[in-house]
Structure 1
């Protein structure tokens, strides 16, 4: 297990970077990345894989919601994805390498590997392999996580020195239509934590009362949480969580986070 760097518990983490769609700053965009760095926040981003094996900083598995294009991200070559404008802005979809270059270690970077199996199962490990390769020489504080424990296990093998965690929640079956109720029951208990060499979890703030979260916290495991959308919710979440992943407001940046 590789420990999560201390700055991940100090600096609030901007969910999909510091975006503001009303101001033309789209989630996971270069402008949102730059904005978070200037403000001194940690940054959380999402990765999907292009057809030619390049990690792209994009949350959804399809292009429909955030661009004028349609269809799966994985069906497009990276050069084509980089030309696609994010709706409501002049930004294009960035690659992981472009984002790493923009941040340059200035603030902590939390990377979520999006499930490539369509159901929390095993898939090919091209996204994990490409991500591990790009992070090998990155100079800053970085950690990876995924809802899919198979992907975290792959990172344990491919990048053992990179801190890794599980993205977790209460797994309400109606909110996870691709998963069976039995799979939801299994994942709710966070049973893979030790096996994948995780050193933290990032848990849905609404489910922080989960007894498994309490058990991990009692062991000294860092508890991050998502997605906090107001100062009032942050106060509630921090009763259990060590740090918050936020959007929609601007939490204070501690002076000790320099």
Structure 2
């Protein structure tokens, strides 16, 4: 019924509880999940989840905020993307959040390595015709600009993809939609302080919307502050249903169709 379009089940907070998590998913009618890769070093573990369980799929990519790890080439990404049950490139994008505190006082100009890494992922996605899973934080204008520069305008040859864990403005959502991307909402949408984000969710058309947990992070209300897992994604769907004035079953059907169209259409996995 429900699909978690973005989770990190290989992370230490979750991997040792996988049997219990899968049982909880079944009880919550969460029947599929996309396991997201954040470094090349972890790709074998992420891919292993997808090849072990027939309701999991995998991505390949390096998170924009990751340093001192293997820097992939286009060919590295393509080699992994060609493996069974790998359905997307990412997560990738740009993260400028907390420049002073988190990045040692470096300037945005000093993060050219992030922008080059992002371009590498976009080129790989276009080459293998698989969608991008995009992370953007405090960097939306550069994220959109680079996508456009690399030809991601929604036209022929575009890879497309999803802006995951969306926390940006309605203007950014509109730009992403205009470029052919989907928009995915996480448990943040259930937070009391997230009315602006709920307003964005109201704006995003149902045929371009996904739901996710981004677990083990960002557990939705009523589990906020606890370790998140895919069995909690129905709470995101319930909030979307409230925003849209729809039955939660309709949100489940629409987001599941969207997941299939974006990630599984044409896949032999």
Q: What is the aligned partner in structure 1 of residue 183 from structure 2?
A: 165
Query: 1:13: how far off?
Result: 4.6
CA deviations 1:194-236 (Å, max 9, x no partner) are 3144612231124223123564551442249xxxxxxxxxxxx
Please list the CA deviations of residues 37-58 of structure 1 after superposition, one character each: whole Å capped at 9, or x if unmatched: 12141223231168xxxxxxxx
Tell me if structure 2 keeps the 8 A contact 1:42–1:109.
yes
Q: Which residue of 2 aligns with 1:115?
A: 137
SS at match of 2:178: coil
| Offset at residue 257 of structure 1 (A) | 1.4
Rate the CA distance shift 1:192–1:171 in 2: closer, same or farther, 3 A. closer
Unaligned residue ranges in structure 1 (runs of 5+): 1-10, 51-59, 83-92, 118-123, 173-180, 225-240, 244-252
Residues 107, 131 of structure 1: CA spacing in aligned structure 2 closer, same or farther, 3 A cutoff?
closer
Shift of 1:242: 5.3
**Which of 126, 141, 145 is matched with 1:129 structurally?**
145
Choose from 27, 31, 34 the match for 2:78: 34
Distance change (3 Å), C-alpha of 1:126 and 1:16: same
State the match for 2:117 in structure 1. Answer: 95
Match status 1:15 vs 2:36:
yes
| CA displacement, residues 104-163 of structure 1 (integer Å, 9 cap, x when unaligned) | 34242233242217xxxxxx7343233234312671442231434534632524661413
Aligned to 1:74: 108
Bigger share in helix? 2
Tell me the residue number matched to 2:161.
143
Distance 1:101 1:22 in 2: 19
Question: TM-score, normalising length from structure 2?
Answer: 0.49
**Distance (Å, rounded) in 2 between the aligned partners of 1:63 and 1:107:** 37
- Count of residue correspondences: 183
- Separation (CA, whole Å) in 1 of partners of 2:127 and 2:147: 16
TM-score (normalised: structure 1): 0.50
Q: Distance in 2 between matches of 1:223 and 1:168?
A: 15
From the superposition, tell whether residues 206 and 61 of structure 1 become closer, same or farther in structure 2 (CA, over 3 Å): farther
The answer on whether the counterparts of 2:162 and 2:181 sit within 8 Å (CA) in structure 1 is: yes
Q: Return the alpha-carbon distance in structure 1 between the equivalents of residues 256 and 105 of structure 2.
A: 35
1:182 aligns with 2:192: yes
